[in-house]
Amino acid sequence: MVGSESRYQAFLDAVGQDRLRRELTTVAARDARILEAGARAYVNLASNDYLALRFHDALIARACEWAKTYGTGSGASRLAIGNLDLFGCIETKVASLKQKPAALVMASGFQANASVLQALLDRRVLGAESLVFADRLNHASMHFGCKAASVRQLRYRHGDAAHLAELLTQYRADSRPKFILTESVFSMDGDRAPMPEIVALAGAHGATLIVDDAHATGILGEGGRGLSEGADIVVGTFSKALGSFGAYVACSQTVRDYLVNRCSGLIYSTALPPPVLGAIDAGLDLGSGMDQERTHVARLATRFREGAQARGYDTGASTTQIVPVIAGSADAALALSAKLREAGFWATAIRPPTVPQGTARVRFAFTAAHEAADVDRLLDVLGHIAAPQMSKVTSA
Ligand SMILES: Cc1ncc(COP(=O)(O)O)c(C=O)c1O
């Protein structure tokens, strides 16, 4: 075996020993509520398809229509082959949804954060290494973007505006460009950033506020606008509540023009394919009118949170459609997930390094496809599992 292979194997052995090894499990899904694995069907509680749009007739029809009209692939990058007018149409809708002058469609949320942050934090353009104030629990893709730009992050305690204020004050006299990075809704905790306080701090300290609105877009805020109001630059995805794939940046016209010239993820990557653009377009058209579904999902999540807490489970600081049940160790999270699976529920154990050590959890995501009866059955199962040692562990 080549030297590198044995080291990869040693890594796999080590994560296996710590119960942190990940596997790709084969599943099938034919609708938004049920997932099949092996010969069994499960209620799917692991999908970020919060509005249950990925099987919606309108998205499928427009994806098919645009595939037939424009082809299955886009052929090259938007700069190399020319920019299909489909992008302009979607970007106008995104800019309007996010109430920003402009928007730019990107290939995926991960790629957007990785390459947009790299471009925005470019020290050769800014004249200095930026001061980047970042929530400790920001998504891996945001860390990746900062690393790619070779900037050191000043990480504030999760959701703690007072700590952010302290750090900003410490650097008040520093003339380097300042940025604040946060998610609006945190993907593994389902809690919300204190946006009004963060917006005020960004204004008071002359910092550019960049918000990842991935888990709020479509499902939270007025008309599904998300929770990024007051941010200078918003990054988000079409892959969650909006039911398809791809990402966007909503920003000023200058930032958009700059990204077209400097963002490697846009310049060096093939444009999203027309069927995906069709699904995005239909998702945007439908999403703003789905208040009933948004209310339904919020009610389901509240019903679950209250029921789980009443049964002694720790649901952290969740206030959204994402509800973690904190288990503590990786073993405890895997055991809880396995017991739920036996009972017909598919909810995934989330372990370090995705979440901090000691806060492994099972993550529940509620969607418009679920019913109150699903939540009640789930609570019934949790009530019978009764794991008091899990309920005593609190999140860091
Ligand atoms: C906060 C956040 N940002 C970005 C992403 C990446 O988005 P995508 O799945 O479209 O690559 C995710 C999740 O996957 C996320 O949770």
Question: 152-171, pLDDT tens digit by residue?
Answer: 999 999 999 999 999 999 99
Over pLDDT 70: what percentage of the chain? 97
Active site residue 183: yes
Q: Give Cα separations from 251 to 116, 258, 259, 280 (angstroms).
A: 12, 11, 10, 19
Active site residue 269: no
pLDDT in tens, 201-223: 999 999 999 999 999 999 999 99
In the predicted structure, residue 396 carries a pLDDT above the cut 70: no
Which atom of ligand 1 lies at the shortest distance from residue 247's CA? 10
Which atom of ligand 1 lies at the shortest distance from residue 138's CA? 1
Distance 214 CA to ligand 1 centre (A): 6
Retrieve residue 327's tokens: 């288990």
Active site residue 143: no
pLDDT value, residue 395: 37
Distance 383 CA to ligand 1 centre (A): 32
The set of protein residues with a Cβ atom below 6 angstroms from ligand 1 is 108-110, 113, 139, 141, 183, 187, 212, 214-215, 237, 239, 247
pLDDT value, residue 271: 97
Active site residue 212: yes
Global pTM reads 0.95
Distance 186 CA to ligand 1 centre (A): 10
Retrieve residue 143's tokens: 């860390």
Mean per-residue pLDDT over the chain, rounded: 95
Distance 35 CA to ligand 1 centre (A): 21
pLDDT value, residue 392: 41
Cβ partners under 8 Å of residue 39, min gap 6: none
pLDDT value, residue 27: 95
Sign of torsion over alpha carbons 60, 52, 385, 394:
positive
Cβ partners under 8 Å of residue 31, min gap 6: 55, 369
Q: Which residues, listed in sequence order, are joined to residue 132 by a DSSP beta bridge? A: 153, 179
Q: Is the peptide bond before 353 cis (omega within 30 degrees of 0)?
A: yes
In the predicted structure, residue 388 carries a pLDDT above the cut 60: no
Tell me the C-alpha distance between 67 and 131, whole Å.
44
Q: Give Cα separations from 223 to 220, 227, 251, 273, 286 (angstroms).
A: 8, 11, 19, 27, 10
Distance 60 CA to ligand 1 centre (A): 22
Most confident of the ranges 22-26, 265-269, 391-395:
265-269
pLDDT value, residue 3: 87
Kindly name the residue from 44, 48, 130, 141 that is annotated as catalytic.
Answer: 48
Which atom of ligand 1 lies at the shortest distance from residue 238's CA? 10
Active site residue 205: no
Pocket mutation for ligand 1, best pick of 185, 228, 239 (most atoms within 8 Å of C-beta)? 239
pLDDT in tens, 62-84: 999 999 999 999 999 999 999 99
3-state secondary structure of 222: helix
Contact 324, 318 (CB under 8 A): yes
pLDDT value, residue 386: 62
Kindly name the residue from 178, 205, 240, 370 that is annotated as catalytic.
Answer: 240
In the predicted structure, residue 389 carries a pLDDT above the cut 80: no
Active site residue 93: no
For the chain, how far is it from start to end, CA to CA, in angstroms?
A: 41
Q: Which residues, listed in sequence order, are joined to residue 326 by a DSSP beta bridge? A: 361
Average pLDDT over residues 270-282: 98
Measured CA angle at 104 (ends 98, 107), to 5 deg: 115
pLDDT value, residue 387: 53
Distance 2 CA to ligand 1 centre (A): 34
pLDDT value, residue 63: 98
Kindly name the residue from 183, 191, 232, 314 that is annotated as catalytic.
Answer: 183
Tell me the C-alpha distance between 182 and 137, whole Å.
8
Binning pLDDT at 50, 70 and 90, where does residue 1 land? low
pLDDT in tens, 123-137: 999 999 999 999 999
Retrieve residue 303's tokens: 């019903």
Pocket mutation for ligand 1, best pick of 48, 137, 141 (most atoms within 8 Å of C-beta)? 141
Kindly name the residue from 56, 93, 100, 139 that is annotated as catalytic.
Answer: 139
Retrieve residue 43's tokens: 């209620």
Active site residue 56: no
pLDDT value, residue 390: 46
Distance 184 CA to ligand 1 centre (A): 12
Backbone φ, ψ for residue 320 (5° rounding): -130, -165
pLDDT in tens, 340-373: 999 999 999 999 999 999 999 999 999 999 999 9
Tell me the C-alpha distance between 224 and 291, whole Å.
8
Sign of torsion over alpha carbons 285, 288, 294, 295:
negative
